[in-house]
Amino acid sequence: MTHLIQQAAFISAPQDIGTVVPCFIRPLSLKGPLRRALLHISALGMYAAAIDGARVGRFVFAPGWTEYDSRLQFQTYDVTAQAAEGSVLTVMVGEGWWGGRMGWDGQKARRRTALIAALQLEYEDGRCENILTDASWRAATTPILSSSLYDGETVDLCAPSRDLGPAKVLDLDRSILIPQEGEEVREMLTLSPAQELTTPKGERVLDFGQNLTGYVRMRARGARGEQVQLSFAEVLDREGNFYTENMRSAKNSILLTLNGEGEIEYAPTFSFQGFRYVRLDQCPQCMSAQDFTAVVVHSAMEQTGRFTCGVDLVNQLYQNILWGQRGNFLDVPTDCPQRDERLGWTGDAQVFARTASYNFRVDRFFTKWLHDLNAAQDAQGRIPHVIPNVLGPEAVASAAWADVCTIVPWQLYLTYGQLHFLTDQFDSARKWVDYMHRAGSSEFLWLDGTHFGDWLGLDAPECSYKGSTDESLIAGAFFALSTGNLIKMGRALGKDMSEYASLLSSVRAAWQARYVAADGRLTSDTQTAYALALAFDLVEDKAPFAARLAQKIRENGDRLQTGFVGTPYLLRALSENGYTDLAYTLLLQKEFPSWLFPVTLGATTMWEHWDGLKADGSMWSPDMNSFNHYAYGAVGEWLFNVCAGIQPDPENPGFRRIVFAPQPDVRMGRVSASIQTERGLVASAWAYDGDGSIRYTFTVPQGCTACARIGGKTVELEPGTHVL
Ligand code: BGC
């Protein structure tokens, strides 16, 4: 079935105008009063549509980022109130994710942008008319001389708009157009500068008090030719100067040349930055800090999770986790929002997805991205490192990264109870498990391949980003995890999974035979290896492995050593095996490396490295030092599931049944957490009374069943609020 927009043509600027952003123009002459006007629109690039200068819709960076070769979203806006006789529809098209360079090595080169649109008019008298993009639209230049995701925007208001003549019609595949699936990206919050400072170097800097993703909106005024130039940074260096080295090749520069015709309001149209600090490189005398506002931009997901406790630093940690999600859920789940990456790294997404699904409502967000994952998976079943895949066909199939295809759908099914996550993703998950079964030189292990290992693990050998845990041990562990997830997905869909159940037994047996040494330890005697063995049920008698994990942590001064792969499972491996006390010790650890160490240094987001900034103010190497990387925020899952004890029940997903199993610790004082589910608010709180006893409060929404597991006893709970 085709949609009206597929009858329109892709159009582009008729001549090469370099990096200048083109505008496509269509005056509207109407046949009478309108009953309804709908604008269906998309672009290879990013579009911003306006009628008589007033923006259409609230979606910024539309049409969003998808696996463009096969999937391009279009949006539909009701423009009945805006379209009128004599009004003019204008659409600017910037390069965006489609047209711009992407990747730190320019893995995806620049390419030509194009617009496609259909304005569907229904008149009061019943007549209909469709205005489609074609050669009758005119093209013109705009004052936007360049606009790039990584590099920022250059606008010259003195540059007159130049008519380029009729738009050029391109014969491009229109079958890739699909209706909007994801969440719209919108302006979600604004912040005023918390302070203005002058650095030791004499730089004039605005501090917004929060590391964030978005852009700066300004009220700009000045003489013709005067310029406002902004640079962006996440942190200041040891001396207190503006620090941009960690942005790598991303220029992140805004340059606006004024035309002297009064005050204007300006924000970039096709570019965003990750920043807390803004340097005013150039600024007319008459403008002050009050003229600048930070606009926080992300996918318009509703916040559903709340967590507070008696420890201020942990409360700030939870806020940082939320900000990590706001900053990196910008149409696709990204590793970071500031340097020359901002890519849909699968490993980061799988690590954080469980926490993400409690913090915010991400079902629509992930529905779209998982469809892109299906589209990007290759014929062999291999999943790319990043989705959409801009790194090329060889950047595929790393253990723990590619397993996103079983981990994320299963978690979304648990959190939201929507069966489509399983029906949509089952084949993809099966193909991936089958690939692992075929891959490598051993049937039930995965002994070769190219993997990221325990990325950024602190037990990394000199000059390596990969922790010291054997990569094949990790690959085998995730082979088992994904096979297990596939079995759960299949069984929930009523499929016979006996073949995969026997595969899983063989994988486990092979894993034990190879990685459990004769002395009962693991061949990689690392925190990550034990965490995976315990959390993925790879060993039968867990007690000695848990004891060894605990011993290793204690020997390391009650501190973790894990990277991207081990960290998300570390606290769970402890609390499920009798070491809850030690799990809290790790959570509450303030010395490096720990979750709270960055918080003690004033972090307002999650950092890529536990020591992105060191206690003496020096930095981790600038080549990989993001201050907004959500991966280690995955500890949020433990805060909800174990600390507050709110757990979904796999047999009754979507919190139709809730298991409350909090594991309190006196050092936390009190805890209060809730998740706004589709069925209502699920809440759990506990607090230590003066006499050392604990008071628990649980809230069960109407229509749900629940039980509380406390002190070895299980009690059924009716809907309502219960104090135990
Ligand atoms: C990204 C990571 C990602 C990794 C792959 C980095 O450059 O920022 O978060 O998962 O590459 O190992």
* Residue-wise pLDDT tens digits, 133-182: 999 999 999 999 999 999 999 999 999 899 999 999 999 999 999 999 99
Ligand 1 atom closest to the Cα of residue 385 is: 5
pLDDT over 90 (residue 49): yes
Give CA–CA dist 546/207, Å, rounded.
Answer: 45
Q: Ligand 1 in contact with 452 (CB < 6 A)?
A: yes
Kindly state the average pLDDT of the residues 400-420. 98
Pocket test for ligand 1, best of 246, 249, 338, 345 (most atoms within 8 A of CB): 345
What are the DSSP calls for 16-31, one per residue? --TTPPEEEEEE---S
Bridge partner residues of 647 (DSSP): 659
Contact 192, 293 (CB under 8 A): yes
Q: Is 345 in the pocket of ligand 1 (CB under 6 A)?
A: yes
How remote is the CA of residue 112 from the centroid of ligand 1, in Å?
28
Residue 267: per-residue pLDDT: 98
Tell the burial category of 577 from Cβ atoms under 10 Å away from its Cβ (0-12, 13-18, 19+): buried
Residue of the nearest CA to atom 12 in ligand 1? 452
CA of 564 to the centre of ligand 1 (A): 9
Report how far residue 15's alpha carbon sits from residue 505's, in angstroms, rounded to the nearest whole number: 62
- Report which protein residue has its CA nearest ligand 1's atom 11: 345
**pLDDT tens column, 306-324:** 999 999 999 999 999 999 9
Helix (H) or strand (E) holding 119: strand 114-123
DSSP 494: T
CA 568 to chain centre: 16
- C-beta 348 within 6 A of ligand 1: yes
For residue 617, the model assigns a pLDDT of 87
By CB atoms closer than 10 A (0-12, 13-18, 19+), residue 512 is middle
pLDDT at 51: 98
CA angle 694, 698, 701 (to 5 degrees): 180
Our answer on whether the CB atom of 203 is closer than 6 Å to any ligand 1 atom is: no
Q: Alpha-carbon distance 608 to 627, whole Å?
A: 6
Is the confidence at residue 692, as pLDDT, over 90? no
- At 629, the pLDDT band (50, 70, 90 cuts) reads very high
Residue 171 exposed, middle or buried by CB count within 10 Å (0-12, 13-18, 19+): exposed
Active site residues: 341, 608
CA distances in angstroms from 64 to 61, 114, 186, 586, listed in the order given: 6, 14, 11, 39
Beta-strand relationship, 657-660 and 705-710: parallel
348 CA closest ligand 1 atom index = 10
Can you tell me which atom of ligand 1 is nearest the CA of 465? 12
**Does residue 335 line the site of ligand 1, with CB under 6 A?**
yes
pLDDT tens for 520-576 read 999 999 999 999 999 999 999 999 999 999 999 999 999 999 999 999 999 999 999
Pair 260, 223: CB distance under 8 Å: yes
> How far is residue 177's CA from residue 199's CA, in Å, rounded to a whole number?
50
Q: Mean of the per-residue pLDDT values for the chain?
A: 97
pLDDT of residue 106: 86
Surface-to-core class of residue 440, CB atoms within 10 Å of its CB (0-12 exposed, 13-18 middle, 19+ buried): middle
Does ligand 1 have an atom closer than 6 angstroms to the CB of 384?
A: no
At 683, phi and psi to the nearest 5?
A: -135, 150
Q: Which of 332, 348, 389 for mutating ligand 1's site (highest number of atoms within 8 Å of CB)? A: 348
For ligand 1, whether the C-beta of 340 sits within 6 Å is: no
Residue-level pLDDT at 1: 65
Say yes or no: domain 4-141+162-180 is CATH 2.60.120.260.
yes
Identify the DSSP state of 384: B
Give me the mean pLDDT over the 222-237 stretch: 97
Q: How far is the CA of 95 from the centre of ligand 1 (A)?
A: 24
607 lines ligand 1 (CB under 6 A): no
The residue extents of the domains of the chain are 4-141+162-180, 187-299, 657-723
Map residue 78 onto helix, strand or coil.
Answer: strand
| Å from CA of 415 to ligand 1 middle | 26
One-letter identity of residue 136: S
Compute the average pLDDT of residues 645-657: 97
Per-residue pLDDT of 239-289, as tens digits, reads: 999 999 999 999 999 999 999 999 999 999 999 999 999 999 999 999 999
CA of 115 to the centre of ligand 1 (A): 33
435 CA distance to ligand 1 centroid (A)? Answer: 23
Distance CA 540, CA 538 (A): 7
Atom of ligand 1 nearest to the CA of 345: 10
Separation CA 26–CA 116 (nearest Å): 13
Which token pair is 224?
Answer: 């013709």
Residue 381 in contact with residue 658, Cβ under 8 Å?
Answer: no
Rounded to the nearest angstrom, the gap between the alpha carbon of residue 216 and the centroid of all alpha carbons in its chain is: 21
Q: How far is the CA of 647 from the centre of ligand 1 (A)?
A: 30
Whether 4-141+162-180 shares its CATH topology with 187-299 is answered yes
Cα angle 201, 205, 208; round to 5: 145
Q: Ligand 1 center to residue 607 CA distance, Å? A: 13
* DSSP sequence for 242-272: EE-GGGTT---EEEEE--SSS-EEE--SS--
77 within ligand 1 shell (Cβ under 6 A): no
First to last CA, the chain: 57
Query: Max alpha carbon distance in the chain (Å)?
Result: 86
Task: Give, using CA atoms, the residue closest to atom 9 of ligand 1.
Answer: 335
Which numbered atom of ligand 1 lies nearest the CA of 335? 9
Atom of ligand 1 nearest to the CA of 104: 7
- Higher pLDDT: 462 or 61? It is 61
Among the atoms of ligand 1, which is closest to the Cα of residue 629? 9
Strands 128-132 and 72-78: unpaired
d(CA 507, CA 479): 8
Q: Contact 236/209 with Cβ under 8 angstroms?
A: no
Tens-digit pLDDT profile for residues 415-440: 999 999 999 999 999 999 999 999 87
DSSP letter, residue 183:
P
pTM of the full predicted structure?
0.97
**What is the separation of C-alpha 163 from the centre of its chain, rounded to a whole number of angstroms?**
40
Segment 652-658 mean pLDDT? 98
Q: Which residues pair with 9 in a beta bridge?
A: none
Which residue has the least CA distance to atom 1 on ligand 1?
Answer: 335
pLDDT band at 232; cut points 50, 70, 90:
very high
* pLDDT value of position 620: 85
User: Residue 623's pLDDT band (boundaries 50, 70, 90)?
Assistant: confident
Which residue's entry shows tokens 């902004």? 230
Output the CA torsion sign for 549, 550, 556, 559. Answer: positive
Ranges 94-108, 359-373, 566-580: which has the least confidence: 94-108
**Other beta carbons less than 10 A from residue 266's beta carbon:** 19
Topology annotation, domain 187-299: Jelly Rolls (2.60.120)
Tell me how long the chain is: 724
Confidence of residue 502 (pLDDT cuts 50, 70, 90): very high
- CA of 632 from ligand 1 middle (Å) equals 13
Architecture of the domain spanning 657-723 = Sandwich (2.60)
Return the best residue to mutate from 248, 334, 341 for the ligand 1 pocket (most ligand atoms within 8 A of CB): 341
Q: How far is CA 169 from CA 93, 164, 371, in A?
A: 15, 14, 29
Where residue 109 falls among pLDDT bands split at 50, 70, 90? confident
